[in-house]
Structure 1
Amino acid sequence: MDKVKFGVLGCARVFERRMAPALKSAGNAVLHAVASRSLEKAQATAGKHGAAKAYGSYDALLADTDIEAVYIPLPNDQHAEWTVKALAAGKHVLCDKPLALSVSEAEWMAGAAAASGLRLMEGFMYRHHPQHKKVFEVLRSGAIGEPVHFRGIFTYPATADHAGIRWNPAQGGGAFLDVGVYPLNAARWLLESEPTEAKAIAITDPTSGVDSHTAALLAFPNNRTASLIGGFDQAFTSRYELVGREGSITVERAFQVGESGVRVLVRANNSDTEEAFFFEHTDQFQLEVEHFAACIRNSELSLEPGEDGVAQARAQALVLSSL
């Protein structure tokens, strides 16, 4: 089966550090072209990562008929525009999270994908790591009883760069949209439902006006709740815990897994002891790319984590509207 040829819009750090190696290692995908607003930068980046072509504009890359899929790691406020343009150009789209900054944007993007018959996926790479399959296996077994509460946190000590997009409110900057969306997404995924109510508190960076951290409490159907924190101003933590009536599941490196392998800790059947399940290091970005490429080649495959960007956008709006 021919490998899916990918083009990338922009030379973002997440592409250079994570997605370029993932595309190089993927068994069913290949990096074909890189575009930048600077042709020289595109050429240098393409050369570094082995791409066959470089373009000095995003439109030029979208006009390349050899490209089947586009990865979009652009600033958050540009996701909707370039996703819709890529779909109009006949490209499948893997868009970095958050898919959209508003529900209306997400609906526009999802509608464009449906109308074109092309694939659109929001880039929550963590979902493809095998540790979460173990979490669902334990859940389905009933070992922790009925899930009651989800706790999730993704924080890191960010260096303030008020010229950067993470610190620009007009571009969708701030800790919640950068990292807080991960535990929000995981809560929706693991509780298999959508939040109905939210109460949030944000600590605002006085210079930029973006949130340096946001904490939120959410209500879900069936008397379930979730708490989450996303932050730029705290020590690195990337963890979630799902608490049931008879036990709990803790994923210690849930969203950013590092290089040393990860553990899932299960306390089951009201026991005081934990059972640990260890997973060797795996590239969750590569797994994400391979899954997306497989879904392009086989339309019968489920696009899990899927085109649920509209529901994610609604959950984001629920949190932000409660501030």
Structure 2
Amino acid sequence: MARDKVRYALVGLGHIAQTAVLPGFVNAKNNSELVALVSGDEEKREKLTKKYQVEYSFDYSDYRKLLYSGLVDAVYISLPNHMHARFTVDALQAGVHVLCEKPLAMNVEDAKVMAQVSEVTGSKLMTAYRLHFQRANLKALEIARAGQIGDVRFFNSIFSMRVKEGNIRTDKRRGGGPLFDIGIYCINATRSFFGELPEQVFAFANQGFDKRSLEVDEMLSVVMKFSGGRMATFIVSFAGNHQAVYDVVGTTGCLRLENAYEYYNDMTLYYSKLSAPTRTYKYKKSDQFGPEIVYFSDCILNNKTPETNATEGVLDLMVIEAIMQSVKSRKPVNLTALSKTLHPTLKQAIHRPAVDNKPVRVHIENPSMD
């Protein structure tokens, strides 16, 4: 494209959009320009366009009008999960590129349609896996792939938060629940280390622990078996004390990343090896949303295929559906083996300074009780 900046509309102005994506656009200004906001809340549109000096704003009812207006080249979809597919397909069909929050859709079928429309129209579709550009996670992957902990044998993770009663994350109809909301991080991290889909999954779920989990699971425990007898386990919960950590254990060493999936805390990576002192790598809090916008804009401007493409989103949903099937049947579920998948490398790391911890907030609240 002739322009040196990609013009974006941010679609959806909920918590993640206001606290992270909008400030992230400030850090992506070298090759990205936020020109429009889309929301069904008039006050949000009015106050946030003024705060971030955005020229245009649209109601959801005028979304298609925006797409065919010629005002934007791309959209960042930051909507509830159940709205991802429809708003993405509309944009792709209009020739507008899409950076869509994860999970890509509510099911594999919808995600495959999104990928197919992207291929047919030539409009790029990227799943917003921000950790594919975050140095702490990429350093852990580099160490493991270089064989510095021997052959990777198993992965274990815990991701929990105390979600407020009534928060959208507890709304089943809108795609709530810990598996879709936070479990996808554990699944994607595991696939990144093993470079493939699991061959088999088995899962337990608990619901009704308190009022927050009447519609969705409060907690899930998942076991995944990979080729070569390798294993992965994780637990996700909406009613546990805040925790976000993973361990990767090889035949001669291990890795541990604390605050592994967060975007508002420092991270610490521990690298231990037999008969050697533990190495500690500390990573200060940084913006994780600006880098993914910068990366996607670079792909658009230079006609490159994003590493975090639609297929990545489809694969994670295949695992999610298998987990859901296992919970229902109380039996292990097999997945169809696929060839090796794309994976992020340290070359993708993009650093941007931490954003304002207290941006302007309009009609939102913290999802967590912490």
Please state which band the TM-score falls in when normalised by the shorter chain: over 0.9
Q: Secondary structure at the match of 1:312?
A: helix
Q: Contact (CA 8 Å) 1:247, 1:271: kept in 2 or not?
A: no
Equivalent in the alignment of 2:223: 217
2:269 pairs with one of 243, 264, 270: 264
Equivalent in the alignment of 2:19: 17
2:280 paired with 1:280: no
CA positional deviation for 1:215:
1.3
Alpha-carbon displacement from aligned partner over 1:40-77 (angstroms, at most 9, x marks no partner): 43222222222111112322332331201101111111
RMSD over aligned Cα atoms: 1.6
Equivalent in the alignment of 1:289: 293
Equivalent in the alignment of 2:125: 120
2:117 paired with 1:100: no
Q: Which amino acid aligns with 2:34?
A: L
CA positional deviation for 1:30:
1.8
2:179 paired with 1:169: no
Q: Secondary structure at the match of 2:137?
A: helix
Equivalent in the alignment of 1:148: 153
CA positional deviation for 1:271:
3.1
Answer 1 or 2: higher relative contact order, Cα 8 Å, separation at least 6. Answer: 2
2:184 paired with 1:181: yes
Q: Contact (CA 8 Å) 1:39, 1:54: kept in 2 or not?
A: no
Equivalent in the alignment of 1:313: 317
Alpha-carbon displacement from aligned partner over 1:145-189 (angstroms, at most 9, x marks no partner): 00011112221111111xx42111121111111111110111011
Question: Equivalences for 1:184-195 in 2 at 5 Å?
Answer: 184-195=187-198
Q: Distance in 2 between matches of 1:156 and 1:272?
A: 35
Equivalent in the alignment of 1:5: 7
Q: Distance in 2 between matches of 1:45 and 1:173?
A: 26
Q: Secondary structure at the match of 1:37?
A: coil
Q: Distance in 2 between matches of 1:62 and 1:231?
A: 38
CA positional deviation for 1:286:
1.1
Equivalent in the alignment of 2:38: 35
Equivalent in the alignment of 2:302: 298
Q: Contact (CA 8 Å) 1:33, 1:53: kept in 2 or not?
A: yes
Structure 2 residues without counterparts, runs of 5 or longer: 328-370
Q: Distance in 2 between matches of 1:39 and 1:103?
A: 33
CA positional deviation for 1:272:
6.2
Alpha-carbon displacement from aligned partner over 1:213-271 (angstroms, at most 9, x marks no partner): 11101111121111112211111111111111111111112110434x32211012x23
Equivalent in the alignment of 2:354: none
Equivalent in the alignment of 1:139: 144
Q: Which amino acid aligns with 1:197?
A: Q
Runs of 4+ in structure 1 off by over 6 angstroms are none
2:92 paired with 1:90: no
Equivalent in the alignment of 2:357: none
Q: Secondary structure at the match of 1:145?
A: coil
Q: Contact (CA 8 Å) 1:265, 1:277: kept in 2 or not?
A: yes
Equivalent in the alignment of 1:229: 235
Q: Contact (CA 8 Å) 2:95, 2:122: kept in 1 or not?
A: no
Q: Distance in 1 between matches of 2:51 and 2:84?
A: 25
Q: Distance in 2 between matches of 1:11 and 1:258?
A: 19
How many correspondences in the alignment? 318
TM-score scaled by length of structure 1: 0.94
Q: Contact (CA 8 Å) 1:153, 1:180: kept in 2 or not?
A: no
Q: Distance in 1 between matches of 2:145 and 2:41?
A: 50
Equivalent in the alignment of 1:238: 244
Q: Contact (CA 8 Å) 1:34, 1:61: kept in 2 or not?
A: no
Equivalent in the alignment of 2:359: none
Q: Secondary structure at the match of 1:322?
A: helix
CA positional deviation for 1:139:
1.6
Q: Distance in 2 between matches of 1:55 and 1:175?
A: 31
